Copies of this chain bind each other. A is one copy, B any other.
Amino acid sequence: MTDASTFESSKHSVLIIDDEPDLCELIEFHLQKDGFRTATLSNPLEAIGTARDFCPDLIILDVMMPELDGLRLCSMLKVDSKLKDVPILFLTAKCEPDERVKGFERGADDYLTKPFDNRELVARTKAILARTIKRKLAISGKLEAGPIILDPESHEVMVSGKLVDLTHTEFRLLHLMMERIGRVQSRENLLVNVWNYDTDIETRTVDNHVGRLRGKLGEVGDLIKTVRGVGYKLVLD
């Protein structure tokens, strides 16, 4: 269990396109070690087809390739209806400033200069994915709190990529705490907002539901902290 909460569970997929199979394998090795699902491709001409079939979350693309260079391929990817939103990480040979600028202009998300450090490769991969995931979440109205993702529309909660089955009350409780993340919520407050204003319910009932919620969230349940004498709060990490 590393740092980036969002990645732990749901394996993200990366497509690596480089005309040198050896380099592909090397990159693949390091990404797989970090839990990514990968596919490699040494023939850039098959890129569009393979990418559409594999549906990657990220494409790592070598700029310098025979037959079809990375820039051109990038342009092709960016006009493909299914692939245009897939972020692209460019690999550029040494210092080719022009190439990089062109890459950004054509919609690349980041670049890495060969030869590169493996740690940096993984770090950048994660960074790009974190950005795009956050953007996607924000757009779709989902709420995120560390490894917890809550979707009000589909009424689903994912914890570390796994679907967790919550009852309506538990869902609303978590929803409220995620909206007010980090801030303590008194039992009365929770009763008013999660249950409806007609609060003739025992305040101890809240404890019970918090307990059940913690149970269903498993390890992650520890993110719901008890503030003795006051109430509960959801915290990150």
Q: At the interface with chain B, which of A45-53, A194-202, A205-213?
A: A45-53
User: A168 with B228: in contact, given A101-B67, A155-B184 (CB under 8 Å)?
Assistant: yes
Kindly state the separation between the CA atoms of A110 and B96 in the bound complex, as whole angstroms. 31
B155 near A233 with CB under 8 A, answer: yes
Across-interface contacts of A100 in B (CB, < 8 A): 45, 67-68
Contact with B along A93-120 (1 / 0, CB 8 A): 0000100110010000111010000000
Judge if A4 is at the interface, Cβ distance under 8 Å.
no
Chain copies in the assembly? 2
User: A154 with B168: in contact, given A45-B100, A49-B127, A101-B45 (CB under 8 Å)?
Assistant: no
Judge if A230 is at the interface, Cβ distance under 8 Å.
yes
Interface residue from B53, B124, B167 paired with A127 (Cβ < 8 Å): B53
User: A52 with B184: in contact, given A168-B230, A229-B168 (CB under 8 Å)?
Assistant: no
Least Cβ–Cβ distance between A222 and chain B, in angstroms: 15
| Size band of the interface chain A makes with B | 35 or more
Kindly state the separation between the CA atoms of A52 and B110 in the bound complex, as whole angstroms. 11
Interface residue from B66, B101, B111 paired with A49 (Cβ < 8 Å): B111
Across-interface contacts of A113 in B (CB, < 8 A): 43
Least Cβ–Cβ distance between A170 and chain B, in angstroms: 11
Listed by A's residue number, 27 A-B pairs whose Cβ atoms lie within 8 Å are A43-B113, A45-B97, A45-B104, A46-B110, A48-B104, A49-B111, A49-B127, A52-B131, A53-B123, A53-B127, A67-B100, A67-B101, A68-B97, A68-B100, A68-B101, A153-B182, A153-B184, A154-B182, A154-B184, A154-B235, A155-B184, A155-B227, A155-B230, A155-B233, A167-B228, A168-B229, A168-B230
Binding site for B on A (CB under 8 A): 43, 45-46, 48-49, 52-53, 66-68, 76, 97, 100-101, 104, 109-111, 113, 123-124, 127, 131, 153-155, 167-168, 182-184, 227-230, 233, 235
